[in-house]
A and B are shown apart, each in its own frame.
Chain A
Amino acid sequence: MEYVNPEGLRLDGRRPMEMRQLRTEIGVVSRADGSASFEMGNTKVIAAVYGPRSKVINRSASEMPNRTKVKKLVQNRSQQMNDQALVRCEYSMANFSTGDRRRKTKGDRRSTEISLVIRQTMEACILTHLMPRSQIDIYVQVLQADGGTRSACINAATLALADAGIPMRDLVTSCSAGYLNSTPLLDLNYLEDSAGGADVTVGILPKLDKVTLLQMDAKLPMDIFENVMQLAVEGCKAVESHIREILLENAQTLVIRQGYGS
Chain B
Amino acid sequence: MRGIQLSFSNTQKLRLEKALAQLESLSSKLNSNATVIVADKIPVDEDAALKGHGTLEMGNDVVASVCGVVERVNKLVYVRPLRARYKPEIGDIIVGRVIEVAPKRWRLEINFSQDAVLMLSSMNLPDGIQRRRTAVDELNMRSIFVENDVICAEVRGFQHDGSLHLQARSQKYGKLERGKLLKIPPYLVKRRKQHFHHLDQYGVDLIFGCNGLIWVGEHVDVKDAMVEDQVNKSDPQNTHSSSLPGSSEEPTDTPLERRQYICRIANAITVFSALGFMVNLDSVMETVTLSLSLNLGVHEMLEAEFHVRVAEQEAERRSTSKRRK
Listed in ascending order, the chain A residues whose CB lies under 8 Å from chain B are 26-27, 30, 33-34, 51-55, 85, 127, 131-134, 162-171, 206-208, 244, 247-248, 250-252, 254-262
Contacts and interface: CB of A to CB of B under 8 A. Distances in A.
Contacts of B81: 165
Q: Interface majority SS on A: helix, strand, loop or mixed?
A: loop
Contacts of B301: none
B56 interface: yes
- Which 10 pairs from chain A and chain B are nearest by CB? A165-B84, A52-B113, A257-B276, A27-B2, A134-B113, A167-B65, A165-B81, A247-B37, A254-B82, A170-B39
30 contacts: A27-B2, A27-B3, A30-B2, A30-B5, A34-B83, A51-B113, A53-B113, A54-B115, A55-B114, A134-B114, A162-B66, A162-B67, A164-B85, A165-B83, A167-B65, A168-B38, A206-B39, A247-B37, A248-B37, A251-B37, A255-B27, A255-B32, A255-B35, A255-B69, A255-B82, A257-B20, A257-B23, A259-B23, A261-B30, A262-B322
Contact of B3 (A30, A54, A207): A30
B56 A165 contact: no
B67 A256 contact: no
Contact of A256 (B24, B109, B113): B24
Q: Which of A163, A171, A260 has most B Cβ within 10 Å?
A: A260
A27 B278 CA distance: 18
A170 B27 CA distance: 28
Contacts of A259: 23, 27, 277-278, 314, 318
B298 interface: no
Interface residues of B, number: 45
Contacts of A170: 38-39
Nearest to B83: A165
A163 B67 CA distance: 8
Contacts of A85: 113
Interface string B40-63: 000000000000001010100001
